[in-house]
Amino acid sequence: MSDGARDADVAVVGAGIIGCLVARRIVEGVPGTSVILIDRDGTGTGASRRSAGLHMPRGASIRIRDMATYSQDYYDKLRAEVHGLPIFDLGMTVVAPVAAADQLREAYLDTAAITPVERPNGIRVPDDFSAWTVNGAQYADVYGLVQAIARELRPRASIIEGVEVTGIDPYVGGVRLRLGTGETLRVGRVVLAPGPWLDSPAWHDLLAPAGIRVKRVVALHLEGPVESTDRAIVLEQEDAFLLPMIHRNHWLFSYTCQEWDVAPQSTDGLADRHLDQARQLLERYAPDFLRYRTSGRVFCDAYSPNREPVVRALTPDGRVVFAGAANGSGYRLAPAVARSAVDLLQR
């Protein structure tokens, strides 16, 4: 990738799970390439820190199923290579209308071995619904995982934290990055992985044609006991799930919040409306959980028009590439997104 004197061959802007895996793929796959990883805050402190980190072996399209398969294999290999990563195997049960059985079998990977089961403990299965077990699920402490990846990267890449990129200026043969510190970096290529920070003046105009929007993401923390044998419960029709966060010893309930065009910097905590929306679903499917003390996490994520991740060149010469808009599945699909971004960068 090197083609002239500069501060680095590649700059990756955004040090969440996608940005860190992009940097890792470059330093491992293209030896001798110099990489700078830059984040406006600390490594992994944005959407990655607030991610539930659930991996479901499924996809709504062929592309997403291919990405999920690749990412699942990647995480399995990563766990074998790096000891002690905070990635945890997990049993999973899906609750969905009986009439959706064929759609479920199409959406889930063959390795998921989706199988009908009796009604799961503690879950109310509505009339005309059924439950299925699914193999191959796992979840991660995504913040902890990003820290481990960054720790592994540091001898091989330069990491700049707490510094905002305020301008991106392509020129013949490279790209200048203007920083909030007043410095300028000269690099060969740039991968933008900013998560939900789409409104930055540095790249807002470059991204506008992609039609990406930012949606609020809400999850409740339910302070009930968690056992190592507890299973995640996916409410397929509601696009919601209950996750036993064994490493934190509480449950997480994620549901779909339809609040759009929000800004990460203006995201507040839980509001009454969030609690009401979540409790309505719990009342229908898991009323036993309503007795637990409730807190939670509120943030946002980037969503594409077709609900598939976006990996695309933003400049005619292909020197600036965007990777993201994973639609709430940043952790689940990050390895596949990183692979696509680096492949595009090398063309």
- Across all residues in the chain, what is the average pLDDT? 95
Can you read off the two tokens belonging to residue 65? 């199923």
Tally of structural domains, the chain: 2
Determine the pLDDT at residue 308. Answer: 98
> Residue 312: which domain range?
8-49+144-211+306-345
Low-confidence ranges of the chain (pLDDT < 50): 1-3
* CATH code, 257: 3.30.9.10
In a domain, 83, yes or no: no
State how far the alpha carbon of 292 is from the alpha carbons of 84, 209, 241, 250, 334, in Å.
31, 45, 16, 10, 33
For residues 131 and 252, state if they share a domain. Answer: yes
Q: In what order do the strands lie in the sheet with 54-55?
A: 54-55, 138-140, 87-89
Q: CA–CA separation, 343 vs 345, rounded Å? A: 5
Tell me, rounded to whole angstroms, the distance of Cα 94 from its chain centroid: 21
Determine the pLDDT at residue 2. Answer: 44
For residues 217 and 297, state if they share a domain. Answer: yes
For residues 117 and 151, state if they share a domain. Answer: no
Give percent of the chain with pLDDT exceeding 70.
99
In a domain, 220, yes or no: yes
Q: CA–CA separation, 347 vs 313, rounded Å? A: 11
Counting other chains too, the contacts that 116-123 makes at CB distance below 8 Å and 24 or more residues apart are: 117/93, 120/93, 120/95, 120/231, 120/233, 122/286, 122/288, 122/289, 123/93, 123/95, 123/233, 123/285, 123/286
Q: Strand 54-55 vs strand 138-140: parallel, antiparallel, or unpaired?
A: antiparallel
Can you read off the two tokens belonging to residue 127? 């009339």
Q: Name the maximum alpha-carbon separation found in the chain.
A: 67
Q: CA–CA separation, 15 vs 23, rounded Å? A: 9
Query: At a CB cut-off of 8 Å and minimum separation 6, what does 153 contact?
Result: 20, 23, 24, 27, 37, 159
For residues 277 and 174, state if they share a domain. Answer: no
* CATH code, 178: 3.50.50.60
Beta bridge partners of 190: 11, 320
For residues 206 and 240, state if they share a domain. Answer: no
Determine if residue 76 is left, alpha or beta; phi over 0 gives left, psi from -120 to 50 gives alpha, anything else beta: alpha
For residues 221 and 340, state if they share a domain. Answer: no
Rg (CA), the chain: 21
Q: Strand 240-245 vs strand 250-255: parallel, antiparallel, or unpaired?
A: antiparallel
